[in-house]
Amino acid sequence: MAICTVLEQKADSRSGGRDCSYNGFLRDWPLLEELQDSVLKAAFTVIMNAEPETRICTDMRGRISRDTVSNQIICYKDVFKLSGRPLKYPYILYLAKDGQEKAMLVLPWSEDGYLYAKGMYYCLTEPAADFSTVKNDLIALCENDADRISRAFSDLFTMKAGPLQRRLDSDRFADYEALKEDVYRAAERTAERIPAPAMNDRARSERITDCVVCWFLLKKVLYVLYMMNKEILAREHEGNIRQQRYAAKQNADSVRFVSLRDMWEIPQEKHE
């Protein structure tokens, strides 16, 4: 099944669906003009004007698979205690053009957003996931430059997704060790967002879920990128996949987090 077909089947809230908030032509998206993110608004407008048939799927929900081998090895038990579909993919642009179908996952800019975009890509494309057979038609990014976003979407139709994604990666981290340091800093910043005592129950629950998902995505990035690195396999493990898998597991385990139980046990302020 082609990637546009996969995405077109996601039912949005307009029709009573629960897969996403909106799924249709970018030009018809009612929130484009109201978008507060000036970078994304500018980028999406350029893409819409250049390719009027572009569609957008917003706030697509996703489950975290217990059956995926990498998730079992990572073994971050707290993430499997979350209910429903805790993953939310903010914006996916997609287009069929000149016999090709391509899609781009876009996250609003944040200091650690590119890492989360990578983690989300791995969740979307892991074995048995909806996009597992079309992973070579999808890229993921988080940029603070409208031109880079619109150019990446255009480049999807002139070069393969793999080299394009690696080019985007190279702008973010030089090698695996640099990536690891970025992940550690992102994990610390996530810990700083642990719910405050004054939060109401709903806000507290949403924040806790968000923290757990973020730590999971960071672990996922460290594990998968290590396993994908053939140079590390040859240099560090002399071609021994089992050793590489063990080291990848250790890297994922090294991401520090606060347990789900401890976050829920933070005392709440009592309001009269």
Each residue's pLDDT, cut to its tens digit, for the chain (272 residues) gives: 899 999 999 999 998 999 999 999 999 999 999 999 999 999 999 999 999 999 999 999 999 999 999 999 999 999 999 999 999 999 999 999 999 999 999 999 999 999 999 999 999 999 999 999 999 999 999 999 999 999 999 999 999 999 999 999 999 999 999 999 999 999 999 999 998 777 888 888 999 999 999 999 999 999 999 999 999 999 999 999 999 999 999 999 999 999 999 999 888 765 44
**DSSP for the chain, written as a single string:** --HHHHHHTPPBGGGT-SSBSEEEEGGG-TTTTT-S-HHHHHHHHHHHHH-TT-EEEEEEEE---SS-HHHHHH--GGGGGS-S--EEEEEEEEEEETTEEEEEEE----TTHHHHHHHHHHHHHSTTSTTGGGGGGEEEE--S-HHHHHHHHHHTTTS-HHHHHHHHHHTT-SSHHHHHHHHHHHHHHHHTTSPPTT--HHHHHHHHHHHHHHHHHHHHHHHHHHHH-HHHHHHHHTT-HHHHHHHHHHHHHTS----HHHHHTSPPPP--
- Closest listed residue to residue 222, CA positions, set 239, 237, 244, 191: 244
Tokens of 163: 């080299």
Q: Are strands 100-106 and 138-141 parallel, antiparallel or unpaired?
A: parallel
What's residue 198's pLDDT?
72
What's the pLDDT score for residue 272? Answer: 45
* 106 phi/psi in degrees, rounded to 5: -125, 130
Q: What is the pLDDT of residue 271?
A: 46
The answer to whether 230 and 183 are in contact (CB under 8 A) is no
**Alpha-carbon 63 to chain mean position:** 12
Please tell me the predicted confidence (pLDDT) of residue 121. Answer: 98
Q: Cα dist. 270→176, 197, 198, 263 in Å?
A: 46, 9, 8, 17
Q: What does the alpha-carbon distance between residue 40 and residue 56 come to, in Å, rounded to a whole number?
A: 13
Q: What pLDDT does residue 174 have? A: 93
Structural domain boundaries of the chain? Answer: 3-170, 176-264
